[in-house]
Each structure stands twice: as structure tokens, then as C-alpha cells.
Amino acid sequence: MSYRYYGREERDRIARQYNAASVKGEIEYVKSRLREITANYEEYIAACKRQLEIIATTEIKRRVYFKRRQNYGTKRIEIHVGVQEYPAIEGGEKLGWVLMDTAEIFGGKERKAAREYAERLAAQYGCEIWEEGF
């Protein structure tokens, strides 16, 4: 649903309007839209609060990803290493997120350095190494 912004352009349009019934109609329309928008936002806030309750009771797992992939822009092989967190639910790996302060990209020839970094992260965060693309 899109919401119309009632800014300067709309206020200027109303300033040129001299039909009282039309202006009263605009007032009623905006009031009804405001109630609808407020209700939608209240429903969204309630859904967010329900999700926060679910998150509070869901176990979060971690894994170190060690991923080999080709950069299609440069055609070079890269090794991506970092820590990924994900909820311990069915299909949770697809909903995971990366701890950005741990993410590193190594060149294809730096596989040994990438492996050492992955092992350090696994020891630091107490999780397993998950390999992809090898």
C-alpha cells in the first residue's frame, strides 16, 4: 500500500481550492487514511514485538564459513572467511547473518592464510568450519 505525502504541493493545491465541499471532503479523506495508516503501523509494531519474543527464546548457532567462489567482475578466485550466526531452526542457515568484523576475503593463492584465519576464528568462537565451493 502506498501512502501519499501531503507536503507543500498539496497545501498549495488546497490554497487554490474555493469549493468548501471539496475541502471538507479532503479533510474526511485524510482523517480516514490517517486512521488506516495508524492501524497498519500498530499491527506492524505488534508483529515486531511478537518476533522479538520468538528471538529471545530461539537458540542462535555460529559457524565459520570458508567459501571459495569466483568474482565474476574480475574473474579471480576468492576465498571468503568469517563467522556466520543463524537461528537453530529448520532452514535457519538460509536466514543467517555474518558478523562483519570477522569477514575477510583472501585471494585464491592465499588459501593457507585463509585456512589459518578460519581455524583461529573457530577456536575463538568455539564453532565448526563450514566449507563451500571446494
41-77 pLDDT, tens digit per residue, is 999 999 999 999 999 999 999 999 999 999 999 999 9
pLDDT band at 1 (very low <50, low <70, confident <90, very high): low
* Nearest partner of 30 among 12, 1, 15, 10, judged by Cα: 10
Tell whether 3 is covered by a domain: no
Tell whether 37 and 86 lie within a shared domain: no
In a shared domain, residues 88 and 119: yes
Q: Which residues contact 33 (CB under 8 A, 6 or more apart)?
A: 3, 4
Are residues 71 and 18 part of one domain? Answer: no
Domain limits for position 13:
8-55
Are both 86 and 128 inside the same structural domain? yes
> How many structural domains is the chain composed of?
2
Question: Is 1 a member of any domain?
Answer: no
